[in-house]
Amino acid sequence: MVWDWNDTPAMGHNAPMRQPLFQVRDLRKNYGANTVVDQLSFHIDPGECLGVIGPNGAGKTTTIRMCLGQTTPDQGEILFRPEPAAPALFMPGDALAIKARLGVVTQFDTLDPDFSCAENLLVYGRYFGMGKAEIAPRVPQLLDFAALKAKADAKPGELSGGMKRRLSLARALVNNPQLLLLDEPTTGLDPQARHLMWERLQLLLQQGKSILLTTHFMDEAERLCHRLLVLDHGKKIAEGRPRDLIAQHLEPDVVEVYGNGALALAQDDALRPLAARVEVSGETVFFYTADARPLMEALAAHPALRTLHRPANLEDLFLKLTGRQIREDA
Amino acid sequence: MKMTHKPRSIWRAPDISARWWPVFLRNLLVWRKLAIPSLVGNIAEPLMWLVAFGYGMGALVGELEVNDQKVPYILFLASGSICMSAMNAASFEALYSAFSRMHVQKTWDGIMNAPVSLDNVLLAELLWAAFKSLFTVTAILGVMLALGISHSPKLLVAWPVLLAAGVMFASIALIFNALAKGYDFFTYYFTLVLTPMMFLSGVFFPREQLPPIVRAISDWLPLTNAVELVRPLFMDQWPAQWLRPALVLLVTTVVAFWVALALTRRRFRA
């Protein structure tokens, strides 16, 4: 890895009073009579990765749009503090000054189809007021970081989905931003491409960047995010570290049972008392319990069924908090 | 602490900085890759009109009287059709091409995630469309000079006037760009706005032929006023009345850009 961020100022990890880098207070947005974001507050510390999860229509994209100044909130404030001691910048009034310190990867790539990968980076750097002499030396480093060194002269149309996303990430880094806003950065990618993206994001976190990430993938949220914000119907319904949230809301163990006749077990009076909570989703019965052993022993009487015993994870949390039903309007 | 935000008026003054330049430069870099084929496309059609009509019809029409001076039909046509070319080139770029960048490729969205405001993006598109129009006009002027249609030294003055016409037609087109839901919409603009204007603005025949009411309308058409300024310059004369057409061009440009800016802001406000 040749990419390093030694030109990034120290983020003040050891400062006694740590000020958040980015802060949102009491944010509200209505579209007509519909409140899409309601009383939302959160902050991002320097070097932190905050994940925003929630079902479709929960208000994630509207929140990101407000953070970028593309949508004006009806109420509340959004502020960015470039340095702990510096005065805060406010969205949307200081939008340009804030954007100069942000890197954005949107859900849908907005790469220039007529330019090569290298030209895409060069042209994008100019939007930040950087001259060619300033950008040109960074281009090979950025392409290397995105694992696109061999594709410098290829146009986006010739790239795979994963390569395009990495080029978008490289483009978002051209101004050496303090905070990255990533809206579903791995949606639509195959597992290899997703793992490579995760590795790169981890690297950026190690280098002191802060990240605001929205995602539908709970393994991604669990792996990358220091803290999570769960949104539903525009409201914050939970916030905390992934492990803490799971411990706080869920029994530690889950036994999934599926196969022919599995659904009947949900009503089985012998099994139900062995679990703290029983849920059905599709063809699968989920038993949530603090002690799975008696349950597993009882399930041995049903050898035809498939059982899976595992620790509770973020997906369980997500489904518990936001419900298992598919939403018609989503 | 609570803060309520009133949405800012879409009619507020333009907020312009030097950041329009990298957007303009981006369009220039894309175009540089396709400049030669696009040049052929841009000038071939107007030249075919000029040659077919100018020499063909010119043989039938002979000479026309403009401002008490007899001029060959091809000179009359050339001086009008070059304004039409400025109009078409600017309109095409500010409609189809700008719409591709704004709506289809989402290039504008990408640019606005960097510290470049919508106002600067729109100004860059305006100036870019005007630049392309000027490029087309310059190429056609070169051919007209080579064909010996006009040798007027005042063509040097016609050149910035044609640039101004390009800016004006780009401003108007950006209004329709801001309103468009798809490319189909632009067909209406071309067939219902630009084509009638082409026939009513004295490009192909003197406006004296028009019925008085139509002529009164024609007096205020943007293309008419461009032709009024450019035609005398082709005939090596100074326009007898330059203030009124120049003001029409200026006012139309300012008003149209302001409306285009307001409607584009509304489109992006969501």
In A, minimum Cα distance to B19 occurs at A127
Q: Are residues A229 and A95 in the same domain?
A: yes
Residues A142 and A173 in one domain: yes
Task: Report in angstroms the alpha-carbon separations of A49 from A27, A223, B202.
Answer: 20, 10, 65
Does B10 map to a domain? no
| Residue A322 in domain | no
Report the residue of A25, A37, A96 to disrupt the B interface, i.e. the one with the largest count of B CBs within 10 Å: A96
Q: How far is B12 from chain A (nearest CA, A)?
A: 14
Classify residue A7: in a domain, yes or no.
no
In this complex, how many residue pairs, one in chain A and one in chain B, have their CB atoms less than 8 Å apart? 82
Summarised one tens digit per residue, pLDDT across range A5-62 is 444 344 444 444 568 999 999 999 998 889 999 999 999 999 999 999 999 889 998 9
Residue B3 confidence (pLDDT): 63
pLDDT single digits (tens) A255-291: 999 988 888 888 888 888 888 989 888 889 999 999 9
Instruction: Kindly report, residue by residue over B59-89, the tens digit of the pLDDT.
Output: 888 899 888 889 999 999 999 999 999 999 9
**Angstrom distance (rounded) from CA B129 to CA B138:** 14
CB nearest to A127's CB, from B29, B111, B270: B111
Nearest neighbour of B33 by CB, restricted to A99, A111, A114 = A114
Picking from A208, A210, A240, A203, the residue whose alpha carbon sits closest to that of residue A21 is A210
**Are A75 and B113 an interchain contact pair (Cβ–Cβ within 8 Å)?**
no
Are A212 and A303 found together in one domain? no
N- to C-terminal Cα separation, chain A: 41
Tell me which residue range forms the domain holding A266: 251-311
The domain that contains A181 carries what CATH number?
A: 3.40.50.300
Chain B neighbors of A70, CB-CB under 8 A:
112, 268, 270
Range of the domain at B166: 24-269
Note the residue count of chain A: 330
In a domain, A105, yes or no: yes
Domain annotation covers residue A16: no
Counted domains in chain A:
2
- pLDDT category at B2 given cuts 50, 70, 90 is low
Residue A75 lies in a domain: yes
Task: Tell me, yes or no, if B28 comes closer than 8 A to chain A by beta carbon.
Answer: no
Establish if B215 belongs to a structural domain: yes
Residue among A72, A104, A123 minimizing CB distance to B5:
A72
In a domain, residue B164? The reply is yes
* Residues near A149 by beta carbon (within 8 Å), at least 6 away in sequence: A140, A143
Q: Terminus-to-terminus CA distance in chain B, angstroms?
A: 26
pTM for this prediction: 0.90
Shared domain for A101 and A239, answered yes or no, is: yes
Most confident of A69-83, B49-63, B122-136: B122-136
ipTM at complex level: 0.91
The answer to whether position A107 is within a domain reads: yes
Residues 89-128 of chain B whose Cβ lies under 8 A from any Cβ of chain A: 105-107, 109-117
| In a shared domain, residues A256 and A242 | no
Q: Long-range contact list for A275-279, CB < 8 A, 24+ apart?
A: A276/A251, A277/A251, A279/A319, A279/A324
Instruction: Indicate if the pLDDT at residue A170 is higher than 70.
Output: yes
Q: Quick one: average pLDDT of A165-180?
A: 97
CA A155 to chain centre: 28
Beta bridge partners of A309: A255
Alpha-carbon distances of B48 from A147, A160, B42, B51, B56, rounded to whole Å: 51, 44, 11, 5, 11
Query: Which of the listed residues A246, A274, A290 is the one where a domain comes to its end?
Result: A246
* Cα–Cα dist B141/B223, whole Å: 18
Please, is B165 exposed, middle or buried when counting C-beta atoms within 10 Å of its C-beta (0-12, 13-18, 19+)? buried
Residue B1 falls within a domain, yes or no? no
Note whether B114 contacts A65, CB cutoff 8 Å: no
> Cβ neighbours of residue B188 under 8 Å, at least 6 residues apart?
none
Q: Please report, for residues A41, A71, A84, A237, A259, the alpha-carbon distance to residue A67 in angstroms, rounded to integers and kept in the order given.
A: 12, 8, 20, 20, 46
Number of domains in chain B: 1
| A330 has a pLDDT exceeding 80 | no
Which DSSP category does B70 fall into?
A: E
What does each C-alpha distance from B161 to A209, B156, B165, B166 come to in angstroms?
Answer: 52, 9, 6, 9
